[in-house]
Structure 1
Amino acid sequence: MDDPGPGLRTVHRLRALTVELDLLAAAFARRNGLHPTDLRALIALLDAAREGTPATPGRLGRELRLNSAGTTAVLDRLERLGLVRRDRDPDDRRRVLLAVTERAVALGQGFFGPLIGETVALVEGLSPAERATVEGFLASVSGIVARHAEQAADG
């Protein structure tokens, strides 16, 4: 078979990595009685907390591309499992803020912690120039994927 070239080899590796990460996420979801959307919601809420951005049901729904009924169903499941809390915003009692519980963090760290630790060690072993190249590449690919996802959602 002909060599597909470095560009296609990289695309194939990214696709294979995506499949493996999806399978790993599905195993975590199954093990913890979660729907795949529940896991995506937890990740979105953890990202918001890390960024210091208030997480609201509306914001979560937009990120997950769910209507309000779908978002409520996800939040109800996660709350029932003790993985998410809904708190009133102390500055605006009409607004609900979402928070991931310590139980959810512990479950995630117990399952994904070793993978994250090994990946962090790998990245920290790179030179600053190599890290910059990897980070730039990943940011560019993320932009390309986001653009195509937006086009797919529109059409």
Structure 2
Amino acid sequence: MPDEGRRGDEAPEMEIFHLLRAVTVEFGLRQTEFATENGMHPTDVRALICLLDAERSGTPATPGRLGARLGLNSAGTTSVIDRLERLGHIERVRDTHDRRRVLLRVDDRAVALGRAHFGPMIDRTVAMLRTFEERDVAVVRRFLLGVHEAVNE
């Protein structure tokens, strides 16, 4: 796949951009496969990812934040949350610090389901990164953080 679509006169920066785009397309296809296999909409998978990312960063996962991350209005966000709750993938819980606020929590079974599907890809990626020098990993991280920032501008 590395030489896929490469033109001989393409600048290295553009080759890397096109490779990144190819990875995102493939990852999107894997997400869609996962959604289809598990009776979900692709937006449901993106919602689960957002909720897991919030949990990992220690950010409270509220419906409002989820909607903002997904670019959905209140009704659309409620539909996603209702679907995921019906499927047993998430639950609404009251914030222990502010009982008026509802937080969203991903169920352990949903995590296990995702791990079963995406685990081999994650494991291969982690194994590959472990072959890199520490400074190279830092460069990859800096690059991806920069791309993430550029995409979000």
Is TM (by shorter chain) over 0.5? yes
Q: Where do 5+ consecutive residues of structure 2 fail to align?
A: 1-6
AA in 2 matched with 1:33: G
Q: Which has the higher helix share?
A: 1
Q: Which residue of 1 aligns with 2:71?
A: 65
Q: Which residue of 2 aligns with 1:150?
A: none
Of all paired residues, the percent bearing the same amino acid is 56
Q: For residues 67-121 of structure 1, what are the alpha-carbon distances to aligned partners after superposition, in whole Å with 9 as ceiling and x for unaligned?
A: 1111100000000000000011122221101000011101100000111111111
* TM-score (ref. length: structure 1): 0.91
CA distance in 2, matches of 1:55, 1:16: 30
- Which aligned pairs between 1:86-105 and structure 2 lie closer than 5 A? 86-105=92-111
Residue 5 of structure 1 is aligned with which of 11, 16, 20?
A: 11
Aligned length: 147
Q: RMSD of the TM alignment (CA)?
A: 1.0
- Which aligned pairs between 1:118-137 and structure 2 lie closer than 5 A? 118-137=124-143
Residue 39 of structure 1 is aligned with which of 30, 45, 49?
A: 45
CA distance in 2, matches of 1:13, 1:89: 42
* TM-score (ref. length: structure 2): 0.92
User: 1:59: Cα distance to partner?
Assistant: 0.9
Aligned-partner SS, 1:85: strand
AA in 1 matched with 2:53: D
Distance 1:126 1:2, change over 3 A: closer
Residue 117 of structure 2 is aligned with which of 111, 118, 122?
A: 111
Runs of 4+ in 1 over 2 A off after TM superposition: none
Q: Where do 5+ consecutive residues of structure 1 fail to align?
A: 148-155
Q: Which residue of 2 aligns with 1:153?
A: none
CA distance in 2, matches of 1:60, 1:12: 29
